Amino acid sequence: MSRALFNEALDAARLLWQSSAVMRGFTRWPDDLILTRRKPVRIRAIAHLQARAGTPGARTARLHNTIIALAPHVEWRHTYSEAEVGAVFLAGTRPKGKFAPGGARCTARTNPMP
């Protein structure tokens, strides 16, 4: 994945987060996300997004299209170990995305949640 595509994805996600009081209330924006190189793991739902290309709402179109562009490059997992994210974080955030060193979304901190 190129740095430009990574930055585009971050910008698109950040703009959507900034535009939503619900998202801002759910978690703060992680300001230390970093690009890492990992073996890609296919996102099964990407075919659904690709089939709907061009049909997302105005607020989500940029992020929608960026996710499609990112799909061949990302590691997508649905499980995380206690060693990766910590017991408290794992117990309290099961339905949420995981931000942690070595996690799905790499960050220098282990607990970016408010």
Q: Are residues 45 and 99 in the same domain?
A: no
Supply the range of the domain harboring residue 113. 80-114
Q: Are residues 100 and 57 in the same domain?
A: no
How many CA atoms lie less than 13 Å away from 51 in the CB half-sphere?
A: 5
Sign of the Cα pseudo-torsion (101, 34, 9, 38, in order) = negative
pLDDT digit string (tens) for the chain, length 114 residues: 788 988 999 999 999 999 989 888 888 888 888 888 878 887 777 777 777 766 777 888 888 888 888 888 887 766 667 787 777 766 665 444 444 445 455 555 544 444
For the question of whether the overall pTM of this predicted structure is more than 0.75, the answer is no
The tally of domains found in the chain comes to 2
Q: Are residues 69 and 34 in the same domain?
A: yes
Q: Are residues 36 and 22 in the same domain?
A: yes
Q: Are residues 39 and 59 in the same domain?
A: yes
CB burial class (10 A; 0-12, 13-18, 19+) of residue 95?
exposed
